[in-house]
Amino acid sequence: MKKIRFFLVPVLAVTIIFTGCSQTASTQDNQTEAFEGAVKIALSDDEITVNGKAVATDSSEAVYVGADIVYYEEGKDETYGEGSEEDSHSIEEAAGHTVITITQPGTYEVSGKISSGQIAVDLGEDSKEDSEAVVNLILNNAEINCSVASSIVVFNAYECGSDKEEDASPDVNTENAGFNLILAKDSENVINGSYVAKIYKDGTTKEDIENDEAKKKYKFDAAIDSLISFNIESEENGKLIVNAENEGISSALHMTINGGEITINSSDDAINTSEDNISVLTINGGTIICDSGFGDEGDGIDSNGYIVINDGYVIACANGKSQDSGVDSDKGIYINGGTVLASGNMYDEVSSDSKQLFSVFNFAQTVQENELIMITDEKEQPITAFSAVNTYSTVVYSQPELSEGTYHLYKVSSVTGDLNGSIYTNISDYQNEMQLEGGSGFMMGGPGMGGGRAQMPDGEKPEKPDGDVPAMADGKRPEMNKEGKLHGEKGIENGEMEVSKDFVLSKDSYQFSGISEVK
């Protein structure tokens, strides 16, 4: 696999050995090279230093403080933007934040903690066309807290991708993107961030709004938000925890995750790429755990274009109170490798062009948070067991060890085996198994209730709602197979689904519905 290569020069410029995003699958190494000579930014509430000296206040310097933070101001009328009172913040609260702005290409290492602050990358509007306008931001035991906006925001740097729909493809290589977020070796980094509701351009009138002609000036949905394509890299054992008031990590175009232990707790989509019909979210490695259960809705992972998973451990839990998906994409979801657990109350179709076999289980009754589901082979040898932090009715599961054949499904009370996230492999023991049965074919919607239960920073958990979410009536239906039946080995005969304890998995039979305890 190729590595991204960076070269520091005296003015902090970075030379990249590639130009432009190519339309080929990314093959980056999960390990980053050593970053000798990185500019060291030390955060604290008392003093911010750059290479051991007090940070500059002159905007011509490579790093400076003093820029106004972009936030949604309270008390504004409808011509200001689309935010509600809940989205608004006072001038005093915003003024209490320190914005650390990076203005020149280079490699920057951030450590320490700031209670009210933001890291902003802004190399100027012209930088989007400049392949040398690249910032590598290394997080080395950093904690950044921002209550009025994103904790890390990228305004301007090189954009390697195309935003033209005719160029759209699920195969995008972002290895020379203008922003790289890097998790240092053995580091644990915490981002607690907010968002900025849509603010209109100056001079917007009521007539503009009525005629749907109001233009956006600012909008940042996530705790880590970039207006350009970017990569997430990690050295050995690099960790990132994101606690988000809205979305967790977002890109306006493409995002590629190549490694790291990443945990995201969010009140909306945990990960999002937002350019309609174009954006590509690519996952090539790492352990990514997404819990979108802290608001009223949210997909685990969402892309307005494509989702491509090539490797890694991906656990994506949608909001248990809403009809959202563990993985949701407008243009296509491709599972080509890795281990994927995506739980929610809606199935967003995974492409049959995926290179790795996957299974889709739809349950007759809601599966509760942390409830263990175990898959065995035909000889009752355990293959895997998993749980989710949300309540759900539909789960997508894929791992390299799954092959065509017959499997059995159980609920169990406990498992002994190798644990990664909430997925067990190499299972040596399990307790209190209860066998499940179901049918192949039609994806029926099931009830869903409750929210994610991951711990928030203060140790509190969101309350569960009362009652059930209504059963889905508009879930996606698979296409007919060659025999004129819905996808599934046996299909549905005379309006009734044939139920079996055998789950026969193949390229053409991967959806199983009405799953419940064997009677």
> Is it the case that residue 117 has pLDDT exceeding 80?
yes
d(CA 271, CA 255): 9
d(CA 127, CA 104): 10
Chain centroid to CA 90:
30
Other CB atoms within 10 Å distance of the CB of residue 445: 21
- pLDDT digit string, tens, across residues 320-354: 999 999 999 999 999 999 999 999 999 999 999 99
> Is it the case that residue 96 has pLDDT exceeding 50?
yes
DSSP string computed for 35-82: -TTPEEEEE-SS--EETTEEPB--TTSSEEE-PPPP--BTT--TTTBS
Q: How far is CA 147 from CA 72, 85, 98, 140, 412, in A?
A: 11, 15, 12, 22, 41
The pTM (predicted TM-score) of the whole model is 0.86
d(CA 366, CA 390): 10
Task: Give kind and range of the element (H or E) at residue 210.
Answer: helix 206-210
Work out the average pLDDT over 121-134.
97
pLDDT score for 447: 32
> Is it the case that residue 130 has pLDDT exceeding 60?
yes
Which tokens belong to 138? Answer: 């290394």
Q: How confident is the model at residue 519 (pLDDT cuts 50, 70, 90)?
A: confident
Q: What is the dihedral of CA 411, 414, 420, 421, to 10 degrees?
A: 70
d(CA 176, CA 203): 37
Q: Residue 177's closest CA among 273, 271, 244?
A: 273
For the chain, what is the mean pLDDT?
Answer: 87
Work out the average pLDDT over 246-250.
98
Phi/psi at 125 (5° precision): -60, -35
- pLDDT digit string, tens, across residues 166-193: 999 999 999 999 999 999 999 999 999 9
pLDDT score for 251: 98
Which tokens belong to 358? Answer: 């996957």
Q: How confident is the model at residue 498 (pLDDT cuts 50, 70, 90)?
A: confident
> Is it the case that residue 493 has pLDDT exceeding 80?
no
Q: How far is CA 134 from CA 4, 97, 291, 301, 381, in A?
A: 12, 26, 31, 26, 50
pLDDT score for 488: 36
d(CA 491, CA 513): 11
Strand blocks (E) in 255-347:
255-257, 261-265, 271-273, 280-283, 287-291, 301-303, 306-309, 313-317, 327-329, 332-335, 339-344
Q: Residue 505's closest CA among 444, 447, 459, 438?
A: 438
Chain centroid to CA 243:
12
Work out the average pLDDT over 365-387.
97
> Is it the case that residue 397 has pLDDT exceeding 60?
yes
pLDDT score for 460: 39
pLDDT score for 396: 98
pLDDT score for 82: 97
- Encoded amino acid at 47, one letter: E
d(CA 476, CA 157): 39
d(CA 56, CA 329): 43
| Domain regions of the chain by residue span | 1-279, 286-519
> Is it the case that residue 504 has pLDDT exceeding 90?
yes
Q: How far is CA 101 from CA 62, 83, 115, in A?
A: 8, 25, 16
d(CA 133, CA 156): 9
- pLDDT digit string, tens, across residues 411-453: 999 999 999 999 999 999 999 999 999 998 644 333 332 222 2
- pLDDT digit string, tens, across residues 24-72: 433 334 334 457 789 999 999 999 999 999 999 999 999 999 999 999 9
d(CA 408, CA 406): 7
Contact between residue 103 and residue 123 where contact means Cβ atoms under 8 Å apart: yes
226 Cβ contact partners less than 8 Å away, ≥ 6 residues apart: 153, 154, 179, 250, 251, 252, 255
Q: How confident is the model at residue 234 (pLDDT cuts 50, 70, 90)?
A: very high
- Of residues 399 and 463, more confidently modeled: 399
